[in-house]
Chains A and B, each alone.
Chain A
């Protein structure tokens, strides 16, 4: 059974993820030398954060800016949760690191690019695909998949992703290493 909690409430509870998500967009804009006009890292509203930037000059930049949060949030989620999961999973030692687990999963939950990101990725990807850009072609199914996951937020797919990366992945990795 799934129950609906308003997006702003979820964003407030998992605010570190929103901040990291927007920071990732901004960092990739800076990395790709794309001008940023405005940025909000967290607010109580919809959207909970945003980065306004000029249209990137090439599709690689578009792809990186759109997918930046996916990379950074996922990486941070693993880095934060793994050291906490190891004592629990392998040694059964619960050393009270629930704060770290919350932080990690909050960040992991916001790894999925937003609907705005998907829309940009889809349109720019389509245009790049028409020009024969292989990245553009590859980005189309990716954009479709992300759109599906975004639609799945209503059934907590973003939270499931965060838990899968923060809890499931370390468990899987540790079980594999232990085998």
Chain B
């Protein structure tokens, strides 16, 4: 029903009334809809005398109001939403190993780059990442790097314990895993040299030290000292005792008041005395030995002292192996583990 200029008209009569005006000459506000607030504007249900609630200016019954306020999602939209949700879950599930691999690799890198690196943890995390993402070349590289770092770290531990053979093997493994790291290769050579020195193969040690020059993580001065020591050893092996003494003196000058280098000078002087019989060499050697600190906790140092004394007393120059097999074994069975 409509109020048309004060007349109450139905839909059809209202249209006729409006059409009776010349086109474009219909007064503004002529037609006003008459809203029955007891009839639902959506479903048309008449609630009798009960006034309905207004939704957006229209009377609406409770059922229609609920429907408008909870407009239903069509079934196909619900199905599509479910499909998207399933796709997300499946995508997450199938790619979950990449998330695991990513966080493991990230933690492994952090362990390696930390100020206090944890190589054992880095290695295990990198291996776990490689298990989750075996097709990734980057993760494979990380695993190799972590393994190499761990081998290098264990090599350092072995070297600290004086096991240079194991240190050399482990550092060599690390170097082979990371061939681009020349410092690692050089360190492996140094450990090989130290192992050779332990085996009294000074000439071989000298070769290793010389090859390591320029690339090693070791301070150049420390490597130069090792080279001097190996040169001295090689001269001793070649029975060139003059050269042995020169190298020992050079080492002493290079290292200052170092007990080891002073002992090597004493050893070289003892050799010179044994070879030439000149008393001055003997006196100097004994003076040095007397001045050296006597450390009861250093069996190898004590053994070295005994060997020098044996050389002075007998005027015979024998190698450490020979000494241990004869004199050392009889007098000091506990002095050496070799």
Contacts and interface: CB of A to CB of B under 8 A. Distances in A.
Contact of A93 (B77, B81, B87, B135): B135
A83 B95 contact: yes
Interface string B86-111: 01100110110011011000100000
B70 interface: yes
A76 B137 CA distance: 31
A54 B98 contact: no
A42 B139 CA distance: 45
A36 B68 CA distance: 5
Given A19-B77, A92-B138, A87 B98 contact: yes
A80 interface: yes
Nearest to B93: A83
A91 B104 CA distance: 13
A172 to B, nearest CB: 15
A100 B137 CA distance: 25
Contact of A54 (B56, B92, B136, B139): B56
A142 B224 CA distance: 71
Given A23-B73, A30-B69, A80 B91 contact: yes
A55 interface: yes
A162 to B, nearest CB: 16
Contact of B73 (A26, A80, A103): A26
A41 interface: yes
Contacts of B95: 83-84, 86-87, 95, 97
Contacts of A76: 84, 88
Given A41-B74, A76-B84, A86 B102 contact: yes
A86 B98 contact: yes
Interface residues of A, number: 34
B106 A97 contact: no
Interface in A50-101: 54-55, 76, 79-80, 83-84, 86-87, 90-93, 95, 97, 100
B234 interface: no
A178 interface: yes
Interface in B69-84: 69-71, 73-74, 77, 80-81, 84
A135 interface: no
A41 B74 CA distance: 9
Contacts of B77: 19, 23, 41
B138 A91 contact: yes
Given A35-B68, A86-B95, A91-B139, A80 B87 contact: yes
Contact of B133 (A26, A55, A93): A93
B137 A83 contact: no
Interface in B136-174: 136-139
B55 interface: yes
A3 interface: no
A41 B84 CA distance: 15
A72 B223 CA distance: 66
Contact of A80 (B81, B88, B102, B136): B88
B55 A39 contact: no
B97 to A, nearest CB: 9
Given A86-B99, A177-B106, A91 B81 contact: no
Given A26-B71, A86-B98, A91-B102, 19 more contacts: A23-B77, A30-B70, A30-B71, A33-B69, A35-B55, A35-B60, A36-B71, A37-B56, A39-B71, A41-B74, A54-B56, A83-B92, A86-B102, A87-B98, A91-B133, A91-B135, A93-B98, A93-B133, A93-B136
The 3 closest A-B pairs by CB, nearest first: A54-B56, A36-B71, A35-B68
Interface of A: 16, 19-20, 23, 26, 29-30, 33-37, 39, 41, 54-55, 76, 79-80, 83-84, 86-87, 90-93, 95, 97, 100, 103, 174, 177-178
